[in-house]
């Protein structure tokens, strides 16, 4: 049975410029309510960010769709995600890529996300409890990298572990603003595209239980 709320959300995303049919299909397919606490599940298919545990948020569906669409994913791609959070963005990536390596600094969030991945039978996700700022050197190189928390800048190590024609999508802090940017590596040169003003939690260092 079709969920009217999902149809309404998909139409809204189309109107906001999400044109990739595979991305729209994934947003429609993923049960967003299971990533959200019971208190907010009635808002699961509204196009808004919502709070999750440990003072973190699950991103607005439009931003998840925009970031996913901007990565230009295909089933051959190996993806690195910095910040698993609820696992909602991770799940979207898993449907459209070969394998997703995702790092989360807060252990309890990672455990929650891992339980959801099992429930959804997503078997191409590899998780790690760690500081995402250190990357995942053992798994280099990557075709795509996504940051799900706002960072001051992308350090050289992430461009070094990115394949040629690879893409990084990340919210970058500029003064009092955050700007979602797309970085494309071509012949060891970086092309940059501004995508949207955004508001993410900050990308912090270290690890927590």
User: pTM of the full predicted structure?
Assistant: 0.95
**DSSP class of 200:** -
Nearest to 142 by CA among 151, 132, 150, 152: 132
CATH of domain 4-197: 3.40.50.150
Residue 143 CA to residue 78 CA, distance in Å, equals: 5
Distance of CA 202 to the CA centre of its chain: 14
State residue 56's pLDDT score: 85
Residue positions annotated with a catalytic role:
59
Determine contact, residues 88/27, Cβ cutoff 8 Å: no
Alpha-carbon radius of gyration of the chain: 16
What is the pLDDT averaged over residues 32-61? 91
**Two tokens at 15?**
């109107």
Residue 89 — left, alpha, or beta (φ > 0 → left; ψ -120 to 50 → alpha)? alpha
State residue 2's pLDDT score: 60
pLDDT in tens, 99-141: 999 999 999 999 999 999 999 999 999 999 999 999 999 999 9
What is the pLDDT averaged over residues 134-158? 96
Domain spans in the chain, listed from the N-terminal domain onward: 4-197
Any residues with CB less than 8 A from the CB of 21 and at least 6 apart, and which? none
State residue 54's pLDDT score: 81
Q: Please give the mean pLDDT across all residues of the chain.
A: 95
**Dmax of the chain from CA atoms?**
49
What is the pLDDT averaged over residues 20-33? 96
Q: Is the pLDDT confidence value at 1 over 60?
A: no
Higher pLDDT, 204 or 111: 111
Q: pLDDT tier at 209 (50, 70, 90 boundaries)?
A: confident
What is the pLDDT averaged over residues 166-180? 97
Residue 122 CA to residue 132 CA, distance in Å, equals: 21
User: Looking at 48-52, 137-141, 183-187, which range is the least confident one?
Assistant: 48-52
**Two tokens at 11?**
């139409």
State residue 53's pLDDT score: 82
């Amino acid at each position: 049975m079709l969920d009217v709320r999902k149809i309404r959300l998909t139409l809204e995303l189309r109107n906001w410029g999400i044109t990739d049919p595979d991305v729209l299909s994934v947003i429609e397919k993923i049960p967003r309510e299971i990533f959200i606490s019971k208190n907010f599940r009635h808002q699961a298919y509204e196009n808004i960010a919502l709070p999750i545990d440990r003072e973190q948020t699950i991103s607005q569906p439009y931003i998840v769709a925009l970031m996913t669409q901007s990565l230009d994913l295909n089933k051959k791609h190996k993806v690195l995600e910095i910040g698993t959070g609820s696992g909602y963005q991770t799940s979207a990536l898993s449907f459209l890529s070969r394998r997703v390596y995702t790092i989360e600094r807060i252990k309890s969030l990672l455990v929650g996300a891992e339980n959801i991945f099992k429930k959804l039978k997503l078997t191409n996700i590899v998780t790690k409890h760690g500081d995402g700022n250190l990357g995942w050197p053992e798994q280099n190189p990557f075709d795509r990298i996504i940051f799900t928390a706002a960072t001051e800048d992308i350090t050289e190590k992430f461009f070094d572990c990115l394949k040629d024609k690879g893409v990084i999508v990340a919210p970058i802090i500029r003064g009092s603003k955050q700007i979602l940017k797309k970085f494309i590596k071509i012949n060891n040169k970086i092309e940059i595209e501004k995508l949207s003003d955004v508001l993410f939690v900050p990308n912090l260092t270290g690890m927590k239980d």
